[in-house]
Amino acid sequence: DARVTQTPRHKVTEMGQEVTMRCQPILGHNTVFWYRQTMMQGLELLAYFRNRAPLDDSGMPKDRFSAEMPDATLATLKIQPSEPRDSAVYFCASGLVELRNTEAFFGQGTRLTVV
Amino acid sequence: KNQVEQSPQSLIILEGKNCTLQCNYTVSPFSNLRWYKQDTGRGPVSLTIMTFSENTKSNGRYTATLDADTKQSSLHITASQLSDSASYICVVRDSAAGNKLTFGGGTRVLVKP
């Protein structure tokens, strides 16, 4: 069945290391979101792509975070260098924006721990 | 600034009892409102969607209401089950360019036997 796939599910890394999270959106969806979830802040939008073009990445710390969609089947979120405050669960979601009430389907998330 | 406020932050109920979660929003212009259920360690899953003209919508034991005039929504869980233990997140979409989603902080529900 169609689902958003995120890898890895869990990542523990040392401060200063590069982290790359990957997302495979549902086939045919043209909108991809990256969210970060923490206990304190809840779900925060980091970046938003439509038809592979970045539409809004205002929620993302530009100095260390970058998001790309090299093709329609892969979205990546990279943190370089990582810091302990980046520890969170990172969710990718995809949808079809042409549908007025389109639902954003979420992946299982990548739980990142930076020590 | 668009905001979505949920209450209570958390609640504990006994299995079989009912409960109601609240969501107040200031998102404008309004497009739709969704309630998501998020199990621990999983991504959120949509329960219901409410558009401007809809007042009530049910999905099994979940019933959502919307008052677009007062900008309030509620999610009622009937005859709670242990599997209802989760976080419930209210998400409002605006109809302006970008169709941004504004997330509430969620209500964490714990159903005890």
pLDDT band for B94, please (50, 70, 90 cuts): confident
Compare CB distances from B32 to A43, A45, A101 and report the shortest one's residue.
A101
- What's the rounded mean pLDDT across residues B83-102? 85
Cβ of B44 within 8 Å of Cβ of A43? The answer is yes
* pLDDT reported for residue B99: 66
**DSSP string of A52-88?**
TEEEE-TTS-TTTEEEEEEETTEEEEEESS--GGG-E
Cβ of A106 within 8 Å of Cβ of B45? The answer is yes
- Partners of B104 on chain A (C-beta within 8 Å) are 42
DSSP state of A102: P
Residue A99 has pLDDT above 60, yes or no: no
By C-alpha distance, the chain A residue nearest B34 is: A103
pLDDT band for A106, please (50, 70, 90 cuts): very high
DSSP state of A4: -
Residue B24 has pLDDT above 90, yes or no: yes
Query: Which residues, in sequence order, are bridge partners of residue B29?
Result: none
B64 touching A, CB under 8 A?
Answer: no
How many Cα atoms within 13 Å fall on the side-chain side of residue A60?
A: 22
Instruction: Quickly count: other Cβ atoms within 10 Å of residue B67's Cβ.
Output: 11
Nearest to A49 by CA among A95, A81, A1: A95
pLDDT in tens, A51-86: 898 888 888 888 999 999 999 999 999 999 999 999
Give the DSSP H or E segment for B97.
none
By C-alpha distance, the chain B residue nearest A91 is: B43
On average, the pLDDT of chain B sits at 92
- Partners of A108 on chain B (C-beta within 8 Å) are 41-43
CA distance B109 to B19: 9
